[in-house]
Amino acid sequence: MIEAFKDWVGRWWPSLRLRWILFAVLLFAAAMPGLAALYLRVYENTLVRQTEAELVAQGAALAAVASVNWPGAPPPRPKPAKPPDGYYRPEFTTIDLNLGQVLPERPWARKTRNALDPDAVYVARRINPVVERTLQTTLASVYMLDRRGYGVSGQGFGRDYSALPEVRWALAGRPYTVMRVNGDLGARQSSFEWLSKASGIRLHHARPIVVAGRVEGVLLLSRSPRALFRGLYEDRGKIIFGAALIFLVLVVLSGLVSRGVSRPIEKLSAASREVAAGGGEIPPTPRTAAREIRDLYADFRAMAERIERRSGYLRDFAAAVSHEFKTPLAGITGAVELLQDHFETMSPVERRRFLANIAGDSERLSQLVTRLLDLARADMALPESGVVSEVGDPLRRAADAQAGEGFSVTLDTPPDAPLVAAPATTLETVVTILLQNARQAGATVATVRVSAEGERAVVTVSDDGPGVPAADRERLFEPFFTSRRAQGGTGLGLPIARSLLAASHGGVELVDGPGATFRVTLPRATA
């Protein structure tokens, strides 16, 4: 089912350039705070809390005026030179638009037949001019209640508000703010106000009037919070400037990412197509490219060089193989034709001579095939991790196999000979090839020495033969190059040795010394 869904999406998924994908990702990342602010109502919640803070400040000021003007209130104490701890009691907002409960619309308070507190009525009339002038600016609704929750001012005069939860909290001496449904049908002034939760509510704040430590009355304030879209409209300059700045930064970042990632990849892709077609060159690494892209250029350049070397190697190898096989095949073909045409007229000696030639050429072909298989296996050999070998046993086996019939091998292996991080068969095969070459070159004595140089183990194989001519030194490790072709040499021994050692991060080279001296190096290993 998942695969079917992926196939369906893949059929409709557009093919986009990397720079547009990067720009879309950056744009989405930049838009996430704004989308989260709208979805989580962060901005709208800030507007609501701002309205609550305004009601708190307005209520605190009017309550202070009422308490000062209350009959029998003690005179205000002057502010001390050094206010004690707890002198300042700031009030923080408590409304949360997302988590707070929205109460139903404030019910219409019924008339009360109980007598109103005369002191509360007196204070309400006294501070009424202050309240009216305040409302001209704040646009809030303010009712003053006595100590029992009866209205003593405005449209709430003589009505009972004691059942409201916010009033009960205030009569208990604690300021309290609630959210209620806004029943004003004209509150939504925009067709988009349905997106705003705050457009359908009204904040109600009840504040106690405390005189000499006793709650004598309550101020009941209410006001609708500032609408979301009105707030956005009022802050449009800042919002537009911020959006433009973010978009400009996105364009700059997209350009940098394009120059550092997208364009270099496009150039490298074009170069790869040209290289695959058999031409072209790898462009230089752009200076503005990211470090990973630079590494990609370096790796691709190294890969192209290795492919070119491998292609040249394969061409030369194919030419050499065809040449090496052509000679014995031509000999076999010629001998067979002569035998077919003149078998009856040939003497037994001539027939045996031609058959011997066929057998010799066939043996050479078999030897070439065997060596080619060995070279192929050596070229395909992979490094073995964790392998540890001693050098003594493989060197002794190689020396024992080649010694004899006028050829002796001397081993110089110290007791503390280093361990090598390579298979023992690799070391045995390489030393065997070097000893075979020395024997074929006419040497009578060969010496194998083991030493250590830093992190490398060194095996030196030298002989008392004529050595390698200076003209042959550069071609010594080329496949099929040999100066002993008449003696059965194939010219594949040293290439096989080099490939085997390369698979174990080692190497072999011809150095100056008595006769032919070869230096084999391998990485050291710990026990």
Share of the chain above pLDDT 90, in %: 19
Query: What CATH number does the domain containing 336 carry?
Result: 1.10.287.130
Contact 220, 155 (CB under 8 A): no
> In what order do the strands lie in the sheet containing 201-211?
102-103, 176-181, 201-211, 214-223, 141-146
Residue 86 is assigned to a structural domain of this protein: no
Contact 169, 177 (CB under 8 A): no
Contact 465, 398 (CB under 8 A): no
The DSSP result for 231-257, as a single string, is HHHHTHHHHHHHHHHHHHHHHHHHHHH
Contact 164, 205 (CB under 8 A): no
| Of 347, 355, 325, 348, nearest in space to 490 by CA | 325
pLDDT of 185:
47
Residues 364, 414, single domain; the answer is no
Please identify which residue in the block is written with the tokens 């002569």: 338
Whether the pLDDT of residue 461 is over 70: the answer is yes
pLDDT of 125:
93
Distance CA 229, CA 251 (A): 28
Query: What CATH number does the domain containing 135 carry?
Result: 3.30.450.20
Question: How many CB atoms are located within 10 Å of the residue 72 CB?
Answer: 8
Q: How far is CA 282 from the centre of its chain?
A: 27
Q: Determine if the pTM surpasses 0.85.
A: no
pLDDT of 70:
92
Higher pLDDT, 497 or 384: 497
Residues 403, 500, single domain; the answer is yes
Distance CA 450, CA 444 (A): 20
- Chosen domain end from 355, 378, 401: 378
Contact 25, 16 (CB under 8 A): no
Three-state SS letters, 397-456: HHHHHHCCCCCEEEEECCCCCCEECCCHHHHHHHHHHHHHHHHHCCCCEEEEEEEEECCE
Contacts of 191 (CB under 8 A, 6+ apart): none
Burial letters 359-370, b for 16+ CB under 10 A, else e? eebeebbeebee
Residue 307 is assigned to a structural domain of this protein: no
Residue 266 is assigned to a structural domain of this protein: no
Determine the residue type at 502: A
Three-state SS letters, 172-205: CCCCEEEEEECCCCCCCCCCCHHHCCHHHEEEEE
Residue 168 is assigned to a structural domain of this protein: yes
Residues 341, 393, single domain; the answer is no
Contact 95, 52 (CB under 8 A): yes
Whether the pLDDT of residue 381 is over 60: the answer is no
Contact 167, 195 (CB under 8 A): no
Phi and psi torsions of 11, nearest 5°:
-70, -30
Tokens of 332: 């076999």
Distance CA 186, CA 175 (A): 29
3-state secondary structure at position 281: coil
Residues 29, 177, single domain; the answer is yes
Average pLDDT, the chain: 79
Contact 290, 258 (CB under 8 A): no
pLDDT, tens digit, for every residue of 147-199? 999 999 988 899 999 999 999 999 999 999 999 988 764 445 555 555 567 77
40-54, 157-171, 411-425: which has the highest mean pLDDT?
157-171
Weakest-pLDDT range from 210-219, 289-298, 312-321, 483-492: 483-492
pLDDT, tens digit, for every residue of 68-106? 999 988 887 787 778 887 778 888 888 888 788 899 999
129-143, 324-338, 467-481: which has the highest mean pLDDT?
129-143
| Of 398, 415, 430, nearest in space to 522 by CA | 430
Whether the pLDDT of residue 392 is over 80: the answer is yes
pLDDT of 342:
78
Residues 54, 174, single domain; the answer is yes
Phi and psi torsions of 92, nearest 5°:
-100, 155
Residues 366, 424, single domain; the answer is no
pLDDT of 17:
65
Residues 334, 405, single domain; the answer is no
Structural domain boundaries enclosing 514 = 384-525
Query: What CATH number does the domain containing 439 carry?
Result: 3.30.565.10
Weakest-pLDDT range from 20-29, 186-195, 264-273, 389-398: 186-195
Average pLDDT over residues 93-121: 89
DSSP 159: B
Residues 41, 184, single domain; the answer is yes
Residue 517 is assigned to a structural domain of this protein: yes
Average pLDDT over residues 200-212: 92
**Burial tier of 334 (Cβ tally within 10 Å: 0-12, 13-18, 19+):** middle
User: Which residues, listed in sequence order, are joined to residue 151 by a DSSP beta bridge?
Assistant: 145
Whether the pLDDT of residue 485 is over 60: the answer is no
Residues 374, 388, single domain; the answer is no
User: Which residues, listed in sequence order, are joined to residue 419 by a DSSP beta bridge?
Assistant: 525
Whether the pLDDT of residue 200 is over 50: the answer is yes
Residue 419 is assigned to a structural domain of this protein: yes
Residues 59, 176, single domain; the answer is yes
User: Which residues, listed in sequence order, are joined to residue 176 by a DSSP beta bridge?
Assistant: 206
Q: How do 176-181 and 201-211 pair as beta strands?
A: antiparallel
Determine the residue type at 402: Q
Contacts of 37 (CB under 8 A, 6+ apart): 43
Determine the residue type at 478: E
Distance CA 282, CA 343 (A): 63
232-241, 437-446, 495-504: which has the highest mean pLDDT?
437-446
Tokens of 375: 């070279």
What's the total number of domains in the chain?
3
Whether the pLDDT of residue 422 is over 70: the answer is yes
Whether the pLDDT of residue 122 is over 90: the answer is yes
CA distances (Å), origin 140, targets 52, 61, 65, 131, 426:
11, 14, 17, 10, 95
Residues 404, 373, single domain; the answer is no
Distance CA 328, CA 363 (A): 9
Share of the chain above pLDDT 70, in %: 80
- Chosen domain end from 189, 213, 234: 234
Residues 55, 150, single domain; the answer is yes
| Of 224, 495, 506, nearest in space to 371 by CA | 495
Q: How confident is the model at residue 526 (pLDDT cuts 50, 70, 90)?
A: confident
pLDDT of 370:
66
Residue 281 is assigned to a structural domain of this protein: no
pLDDT of 187:
46
Average pLDDT over residues 400-408: 83
- Chosen domain end from 191, 215, 234: 234
Whether the pLDDT of residue 315 is over 90: the answer is no
Distance CA 47, CA 124 (A): 30
Residue 319 is assigned to a structural domain of this protein: yes
Q: How confident is the model at residue 375 (pLDDT cuts 50, 70, 90)?
A: low
Distance CA 515, CA 441 (A): 10
